[in-house]
Structure 1
Amino acid sequence: MLAALGLDEVHESAYRALVSVGAADVPDLARRLTLGEDATDRALRRLERHGLAAQSSARPGRWVAAPPGVALGALLTQQRHELEKAELAAALLAEEYRAQAAEPAVHDLVEVVTGAGAVSQRFLQLQLGASDEVCALVTGNPVVVSGRDNKAEEQAAGRGVAYRVVVEREVLNLPTGLLELSAALGRDEQVRVVERVPTKLVIADRTLAMVPLTSRTAEPAALVVHASGLLESLSGLFEAVWRDALPLRLGQGGGITEQHPDGPDGTDLEILSLLLAGLTDASVAKQLDLGLRTVQRRVKRLMELTGVTTRLQLGWHAYEKDWVAREGRPPREAVSQRELPSQRAGRPDPTPEG
């Protein structure tokens, strides 16, 4: 836990042991750490250089631990100072880069990446470097990186990066397709499905995109596109596919359902009702056992769905569309859902009443 302060596992264990006993000599501490006396002595000397331990003046040969609040606080302050210097250096380098790239040459707007390793690394870097949103078109034929291997997506989504993903229907039939999509929906990613996507594509923060290059050779290759008219065209392509795709939702029991994008789902209706009742976003999240970002993201989606810019307008639309109860009448179900064929497989047909 103290690795960020420059201490490895041995030195942290030595400091913790010294804190627990208050004072100890080298042989005693070596037995506690199951280390040789020479290694223990080196660890204590290292702690001494960090200001975490000192030799006792009252009892020669014994070592005492420095108070953690003071000693570790000093190290934390030093680390914060180093981080601030690094942030300043990064900001200066970014400014220098922007100045040099103010009028980039045409050949700097695109780069060709070849080789499976290089393509995979660049694909992951795009996601790890995103700070706002990642948009992607996914085919049913992963060549370099499969959904199972894409750990960057989980990391990026975990730190708040929004994901909008369109998969072609073939993905649902892959051996791990439904499992991967369920995991993505569980991370509150927005996922839609179409019969076919025109190409594989990933766009990070609308500033960088990556598309595969078809080649006569077996070696994978991709084109990385920087901010340009070409990037705007790729963004437009994604938005066009996104509008025509059907949203996927987690249904009861963890199954996946397709939902027509003409209305909110059950959770959206609950959020709307609570907001119109006067609850704050935080109270709604607590009431429904949802994350605050989830509530805010769903409200934003509903505003985009209705084409409004304020929550007051959203409330009016919800009332007009009968999305919420009025005059004692329950809200009209505004969502049309159907199970995926793969989830209906093996289920007996209902027997008609006779």
Structure 2
Amino acid sequence: MSSLASFGVDSKAQAVYTTLLAHPNWALGEIAESLQISPPEVKSALHHLIKNSLLYASSEKTGRYIPLDPEVGLVPVIERIEAELDARRSQLARDRATISELRHKYTDLTTRHSSITEETFDNVEAAEAKLLALTKKARKQIDILGNFELIGEGSPQEDALISKALSSDLAVRSILLESMRNSAPQASRASWISTLGADVRTAPTLPSRMVIYDRSTVAISGAENGSGAEVAVITASAATHALQELFELVWIGSSPLESPHNESDRGALGSREMALLRMLAAGLTDDGIARQLDVSLRTVRRHTSQLFEKLTARSRFQAGAEAARRGWI
């Protein structure tokens, strides 16, 4: 049997309560003998159980104690813990907003003291060489929107870039179009990238095709031309920060590659509901979610209520636990 220690009920008190459930007419001495503990220990446990609303002393029979439904005493404790967790999540969201504001101020400061560096490549070979150099130079992280190389999805050059990135202890996140799941070759390719160690997700639409290196350098696809795709490389500017924020927003609303992607498999959850679910799990407040989704606070609360109903949950904590159980987050 699981312990109730998190509710303030120690093992002896729990044993006494369990014994009284089986033998409600037993007196203090019988309980002590059965559990092989001293009468003072039983008395202390009884007082503890009364304090936690799990027992009450019989008014008709002296020395008799009547067990109460555990929901009477423990469910309010659960709700109090959930309320504390919600308050903590709200505080974390406010802290995150403060950090974001400070980051913007820091970015403004560094931008004023550094010039924007931008290179443009409209030649395939030159662009490939630059992307390979950026991949070799990366030290911590590569984030990808669309195919990796920006020039030719599935090309030998792209395969080489992916293998290089994933063999050098880099954290690689990739967001692909959700439609690729309907193409066997593309789905197989995505699975291969995931097998190599990348964290792969899909989204219904992508705002752009780009690769972000160490959160500081962005290679972004431009207009198509006769010799391939034009690629611009931007470093050390407020633009790189904004593009990283764009990636993070798309990442929150995307679906893990291994997760169900059709409506029936997800219990009829739409893409907006899945995005809402992930934001709730990430600890965003209703205000924060409203800003991310560009909707009113009232709309967020209405969608949250509908989501809780589908998950048969009464709080964010329960909704997160149920969504995790179903493998949705």
TM-score band w.r.t. shorter chain: 0.3 to 0.5
Query: 1 or 2 for the larger relative contact order (CA 8 Å, sep ≥6)?
Result: 2
| TM-score, normalised relative to structure 1 | 0.42
